[in-house]
Chains A and B, each alone.
Chain A
Amino acid sequence: MADNILITYGVPLLLLILSPIIGGLLIGIDRKVTARIQNRSGPPIVQPFYDTFKLFGKEDKIVNKTYLVFGAAYLLTVILSLALLLFQYDLLITTFIFGLSFIFLVLAGYSTRSQFGNVGATRELMQMLTYEPILLFAVFLIRLVTGSFEIESIYSAAQPLLYTLPLALLAIFIILPIKARKSPFDIAEAHQEIAQGPETEYSGKYLGLLLTAHFFEMFFILWFVSLFFVKDVALGGLVIPGVIMQVLMMLVAYVFLIVVDNATARLRVDQMLKQVFIVGMVLLIINLIYIIVTGRWIA
Chain B
Amino acid sequence: MSLTEISRKKSPWVIHVGTGGCNGCDLEILACLTPRYDVSRFGVMSTGNPKHADVMLVVGPVTIKYKEIIKNLYDQMPDPKVVISVGTCASTGGIYQGCYGHCGGVDKVVPVDVYVPGCNVRPEAVIDGLVLALDILNEKERKILEEKKAKAKGAA
Residue numbers of A with Cβ under 8 A of B are 35, 38-44, 47, 49-54, 56-61, 116, 191-192, 195-196, 200-204, 207
B35 touches A50 (CB 8 A): no
- Find A61's partner among B11, B38, B51, B141 (CB 8 Å cutoff): B51
B11 touches A50 (CB 8 A): yes
A-B contact count (CB 8 A): 82
Where chain A touches its partner, the secondary structure class is loop
Contacts of B54 in A (CB 8 A): 54, 58
- Find A50's partner among B7, B51, B52, B76 (CB 8 Å cutoff): B7
Contacts of A195 in B (CB 8 A): 47-49
- Find B78's partner among A38, A58, A116, A196 (CB 8 Å cutoff): A58
Contacts of B78 in A (CB 8 A): 58-61, 203-204
Nearest residue in A to B48 (C-beta to C-beta)? A195
Known pairs A196-B47, A207-B52; A51 contacts B40 (CB<8 A): no
CB distance from B88 to the nearest CB of A (A): 29
CB distance from B80 to the nearest CB of A (A): 7
Known pairs A50-B7, A57-B4, A203-B52; A42 contacts B79 (CB<8 A): no
Nearest residue in B to A200 (C-beta to C-beta)? B49
CB distance from B38 to the nearest CB of A (A): 4
Check B102 for interface membership: any CB of A closer than 8 A: no
Check B67 for interface membership: any CB of A closer than 8 A: no
A41 touches B47 (CB 8 A): no
CB distance from B29 to the nearest CB of A (A): 16
Nearest residue in B to A51 (C-beta to C-beta)? B11
| Number of chain B interface residues as a range | 20 to 34
- Find A200's partner among B6, B35, B40, B51 (CB 8 Å cutoff): B51
Contacts of B20 in A (CB 8 A): none
Check B41 for interface membership: any CB of A closer than 8 A: yes
Contacts of A203 in B (CB 8 A): 51-52, 78
A50 touches B43 (CB 8 A): yes
B76 touches A61 (CB 8 A): yes
CB distance from A116 to the nearest CB of B (A): 8
CB distance from B35 to the nearest CB of A (A): 4
A41 touches B38 (CB 8 A): yes
16 extra A-B contacts, CB within 8 A, seeds A35-B38, A43-B42: A38-B35, A41-B38, A44-B41, A47-B43, A51-B13, A51-B45, A53-B3, A53-B4, A54-B8, A54-B10, A57-B7, A57-B141, A59-B79, A61-B78, A192-B48, A204-B78
